Amino acid sequence: MTSTSYYFALIAKSFGLERRNKRVLEASSEMSLLREAEYHLGLVLWEKIEPIEELSVEYWNLRKQMKGFTEMRKKMDELNEQLTELQLQRAEILNSENPEQLEVEMQRSQLMLYMEKLTNERDMVLRRAKELRRVHEGLLTKIEVIKRDKYPEEKIIEVEQSIDDLKKEFRALKLRRQELAEALDQGDRDIDENEKKLAAFKQVKRDEAALIFQELGLINRELSQLRSEVGSVESEIRQLQSEVGRYISRYTKRNPVCNKIAKPERAMVEVMRMLRISISMNRKLADFK
């Protein structure tokens, strides 16, 4: 707000046009701008304020806090590097496969193929045995009928020979089924043993990864604590720098040292002076004391 607009607003107020809310909002907005400008000015100039006796406390506190802040940031960078390295190690452990494990996994694949082959053959044997039973039952009925009806002896012998052939094939199928059953049982045992070996390999990986995970947890806790401390220090540094900027901007004309230090930021100091005047005028118009 300029002096001209202030006097116009003052005249309007005398006629009952106060617009108090507008003045409050303008004062609040300008105060936010002023506080940000004070912080920025202090951020730029704080390292030059050692000669100003009135800011001695702020200067040495800032030196102390900045040193601690730098050390904490350096420590956080180191911990983040460790964190990244450990995460890579953990991923490498979980994704790695040693030659022995690869060999065991290959054996498992071969076992599964072999078991599938045995299962298919067993199913074929069972189907063939079922077919033979039906044919055998039919031939038994047939031999009974042709004997009863006194078919030629050659026909009877032919049917009996067919029955004997079926019995021989059935016995062979029964024997093969037993062999397949034993082979499948052995295959199941081999697969179980194979899976135990694979589980052992995986457990070793999990144990190694668990140790790294514990280290990750410790580092993350330390980082969390450091972040909290850094946030607190940053707030304190910002507050101190704001106080530095506030003092320098207020005493530029009355303190030659402040004037010298603030010379490169003279434009900002002037803007801050105008903001203070505008805030004061808006508060008067809003009847703030």
Q: Does residue 249 fall inside a structural domain?
A: yes
Which own/partner contact pairs does 139-145 have at CB distance under 8 Å and 24+ positions apart?
139/163, 139/166
Q: Does residue 73 fall inside a structural domain?
A: yes
For the whole model, what pTM was predicted?
Answer: 0.57
- pLDDT mean across residues, the chain: 86
**pLDDT at residue 87 above 90?**
no
**pLDDT at residue 122 above 80?**
yes
Q: Does residue 270 fall inside a structural domain?
A: no
Q: Where are the alpha helices (DSSP H) in the chain?
A: 3-14, 20-45, 56-95, 99-148, 153-251, 256-262, 266-285
Q: Does residue 158 fall inside a structural domain?
A: yes
How many domains in the chain? 1
The percent of residues above 70 in pLDDT, for the chain, comes to 90
- Across residues 26-45, what is the average pLDDT? 90
Quote the pLDDT of residue 105.
82
- The whole domain housing 119 covers 53-254
Q: Residue 217 maps to which CATH number?
A: 1.10.287
For residues 112 and 117, give the distance between their C-alpha atoms in angstroms, rounded to a whole number.
9
Could you give the maximum distance between any two Cα atoms of the chain, in Å?
A: 145
Assigned token pair, 80: 């983040």
Quote the pLDDT of residue 204.
82
Q: Does residue 275 fall inside a structural domain?
A: no
- 17 exposed, middle or buried (CB, 10 Å; 0-12, 13-18, 19+)? exposed
Q: Does residue 262 fall inside a structural domain?
A: no
DSSP string across 271-282: HHHHHHHHHHHH
pLDDT digits (tens, 9 = 90+) for 175-189: 999 999 999 999 999
- Across residues 122-137, what is the average pLDDT? 91
- Across residues 21-34, what is the average pLDDT? 80
pLDDT digits (tens, 9 = 90+) for 6-25: 544 545 555 455 565 666 68
Classify 288 as helix, strand or coil.
Answer: coil
